[in-house]
Chains A and B, each alone.
Chain A
Amino acid sequence: MTNRVAIVGIGTTGFRPVTPDVSFRELIFEAARKAYTDAGLEPSEIDGFITAAEDFVEGYSIADEYCPDQIGAVLKPTQTIPGDFIQALATGYMMIMTGAFKTVAIEAHSKASNIKNVDELTGFAFDPVYNRPLRESPHAIAGLEMMRYMFETCTSADQCASVVVKNKFNAMHNPYAAFGSDIETIDVLNSEPVSLPIHRLDIAQHADGAVVAVLAAEDVALSLTDIPIWIEGLGWCTDTPTLEMRDWGEAVYAAYSAEMAYRMAGITNPAADIDFAEICDEYSYKELQHMEALKLCMPGEAGHFVETGVTDISGELPINVSGGALGVGHLFEASGAHKILELVEQLRGEAGMRQIPDVEVGLAQTWRGVPTATGAVAILSNF
């Protein structure tokens, strides 16, 4: 009887602002080949496959048609989850827990550079009747939320800018990251005002890349690797899609999905039990808002944490050591994938220059971006 599921292999291409040299198929093949070799499995030995993808991000109707070849899933049980990688991870976890699948591979990728007008794409996700005719920029929606969050928690724009500084600095030590740099908060505050309080540098830029992970049931995992990375907790939640009804200050979807994941993992004191976290920072303030929703600190405390270095790589609670979306790049459905990748490398002790010493439990959290109120949480451990 299976009672635990582990990540036994992971592979990535790394993330770049553009990838003109390869097609999406060639990009994904590279990540898949690395993941299967890392797991010590051939795709013919894998029982099920999942791709996380959305039609309009791919530029295909029925984008799932194109998912099998480059992950070795021809004539295999294969599905697409139009959601974040962590939601796909949850599906893979459930598949193995049914007992009908021993191993499942999960793929997510971004070819964001091939979309020539991303804001139009995001706008196309707005309610067609109520919201779209207003022609609001997606960043305006985030601006509304940032304003309300700062108001409710007394967080300053300077504190939000500190998130950008920290994450871009962390990214310089991550060979996979596309947007590492050494800047100061004043650079963020002086960057182009987009939808105040949001400045240009508060927004994560898009990047290309692919990640494939291989999950296995406990018995198979133990036979494949000395360091299986166990899935301890999973949670996912959708708050209302209606802009007019949602809570603008708080990330309710993050709080609910964390609650579900903590319950599953038996975690009662997250701030103490979680060693490090990769949290969605598609906008600077989101990292702070999410930290509070995840109960990694008290409401209103997150800004102070980042300012005083608590969430630095050497701090008590390192957050986004990878560089986060601000440093690595915004990867659409693969956003959760680079966070899981970072967790796996840290928990295996393979994170190189950015290795946090003695970590045992990590948390990854994602949000599906404007205009959604959907997110997911995964908790992984190495023991």
Chain B
Amino acid sequence: MKLEDYELRGTALRSSDIKKGKVLSTSWEPDLKYAWDNGVAIGRYLAELKAGQIIGRACHKCRRIMIPPRMFCELCFRPTDEWIPLEDTGTVNTFSIVHVNWDASRRKKGEPPLIPAVIEIDGASKGMGIMHMLSEVDPKDVKIGMKVKAVWKSEEEREGAITDILYFKPARAKAGKRRKQ
């Protein structure tokens, strides 16, 4: 058989065909509501964020310190062992300069691009990152490997959510530590 021997079906429409009523359509806005149980690990993670602290969880078998924390180690398949407070600093594993919003609409004129990044958190095992945003930095200056530090909401504004960290910004080199070459 060859595809070319068949008249392939499928009728292409333009948006205007629907807008002008050339074809009829039915629309529906689902109103689904969920409230997720955070559970032990993420519950504590959020509570610690409210307190201005990033926390991880250690597995004594594979010796990984994991973030986001989890009550079981997915590799050793046993309960994890210990809560480990982590730094609110980290290293940019990768980033993007984004001009679209979540729903594919474009950023408005004058709105700066968004800079999501995977940030490896200091104190966790190598490669253990979370997704968050970068700000207070010129997009042109963002580099993989850059050291960053969390900028928190004020204590009163924090509510126990990942957004209690507003974003990460370039970290100044700490005294005694060499700036990245």
Contact = CB atoms under 8 A, between A and B. Distances in A.
Please say whether chains A and B are actual partners in one complex: yes
A21 interface: yes
Interface stretch (A127-135, A329-337, A338-346): A127-135
Contact of A114 (B36, B42, B70): B36
Given A56-B32, A124-B30, A128-B26, A72 B74 contact: yes
A72 B77 CA distance: 6
Interface in B63-104: 70-72, 74-75, 77-78
B112 to A, nearest CB: 28
Interface in B12-43: 26, 28, 30-43
Nearest to A208: B37
A143 interface: no
Contacts of B30: 120, 124
A335 B72 CA distance: 26
Contacts of A25: 39, 41, 70-72
Nearest to B24: A129
Contacts of A117: 31-33
A241 interface: no
B72 A29 contact: yes
A20 B37 contact: yes
Interface of A: 19-27, 29, 32-33, 36, 42-44, 56, 59, 68-70, 72, 74, 111, 113-117, 120-121, 124, 128-129, 132-133
Chain B: interface size category: 20 to 34
Given A23-B42, A69-B70, A128-B28, A43 B77 contact: yes
B33 to A, nearest CB: 4
Contact of B39 (A22, A36, A115, A116): A22
Nearest to B75: A74
Contacts of A133: 26
Given A21-B39, A114-B37, A121 B32 contact: yes
B37 A29 contact: no
A27 B39 CA distance: 9
9 contacts: A24-B37, A25-B39, A25-B71, A29-B71, A43-B77, A59-B36, A111-B36, A111-B37, A115-B33
Nearest to A116: B33
Contact of B77 (A42, A113, A114): A42
B72 A36 contact: no
A124 B34 CA distance: 15
A19 B37 CA distance: 8
Contacts of A20: 37
Nearest to A33: B77
Nearest to B77: A72
Contacts of A68: 74
Contacts of B35: 114, 116
A22 to B, nearest CB: 5
5 A-B pairs with least C-beta separation: A23-B39, A116-B33, A69-B74, A59-B34, A72-B77
Nearest to A129: B26
Contacts of B41: 23, 25-26
